[in-house]
Amino acid sequence: ERTADGIRASTSAGDLCARRVVICAGAWTAPLLSTLGVTLPLVVTRQTMHWFMPADDASIVCADRLPVALIEHDGGHIFYTMPDVGDGVKAAIHHEGAAVDVDAVDRVVHASDTQAVEGLVARFLPGAGASVRESAVCLYTNTPDHDFIIDTLDGMADVVVVSACSGHGFKFASAIGDIAARMALGESADMDVSHFAAARFGVSRPDAVRS
């Protein structure tokens, strides 16, 4: 809600007032912005992550021997792994998850979820993951082009939207955080972020925004 001094956000813990707001709501970005009359073409997908334990020599999957890997296979499918830093080798399929209602996500990891990744681990990292130690469900918030949104919105130069990272925002979190902080302070970003404008999806951008 806009006030004479800025913006008021009403939460279950009470109201918060500020001159500017940064929205980093992940999978809830589109529902939240819809309350402001803003529509973004975001699709939330259900993804699963898995951690594998090696059968024999655990040293072969430690961070100084096993790099982070993105493996493109079979006509553009992507499978990724991360080394064991104490919880086992992380492995998952990048994208390909089913579109979901963010408020009705199936949080149960099913045998079909696990089996798909087990087959890829056996194929590309034989010996690195003999058994599944743990699995979990996560969410990707996807834009049509799988690039970020880092922008203010039409008529709301004091509302910064930073979200829809399409499954790869964590790698850029420190840079995105710095950019968001600068924008929230009314400063120019120290790099060109016009590529991440919401306008590319038909959401207009106010003249006050500068990259």
Here the tokens at position 47 are 């993804």
- Cα gap 155→145, rounded to integer Å: 24
Residue 120 belongs to a domain: yes
CA 72 to chain centre: 20
Tens-place pLDDT, residues 47-78? 999 999 887 788 888 899 999 999 999 999 99
Domain holding 136, by residue range, is 44-140
Residues 27 and 97 in one domain: no
Residues 67 and 95 in one domain: yes
Residue 211 belongs to a domain: no
- Cα gap 72→70, rounded to integer Å: 7
Residues 85 and 159 in one domain: no
**Residue 157: per-residue pLDDT:** 85
**Residue 193: per-residue pLDDT:** 92
**Residue 101: per-residue pLDDT:** 97
Whether 107 contacts 137, CB under 8 Å: yes
Residues 101 and 15 in one domain: no
**Residues facing residue 142 across a β-bridge:** 43
**Residues facing residue 82 across a β-bridge:** 90
> Of 123, 140, 157, which residue constitutes the final position of a domain?
140
Residue 209 belongs to a domain: no
- Name, in order, each residue with C-beta under 8 angstroms of 149's C-beta and a sequence gap of 6 or more: 40, 143, 161, 162, 163, 164, 196, 197, 198
Helix (H) or strand (E) holding 173: helix 173-184
Number of domains in the chain: 2
**Residue 128: per-residue pLDDT:** 76
**Residue 207: per-residue pLDDT:** 41
- Cα gap 46→100, rounded to integer Å: 6
**Residue 145: per-residue pLDDT:** 96
**Residue 144: per-residue pLDDT:** 96
Residues 29 and 61 in one domain: no
Beta strand 21-23 with 156-163 is parallel
Residue 196 belongs to a domain: yes
What percentage of residues in the chain have a pLDDT greater than 90? Answer: 64
pLDDT less than 70: residues of the chain: 129, 204-211
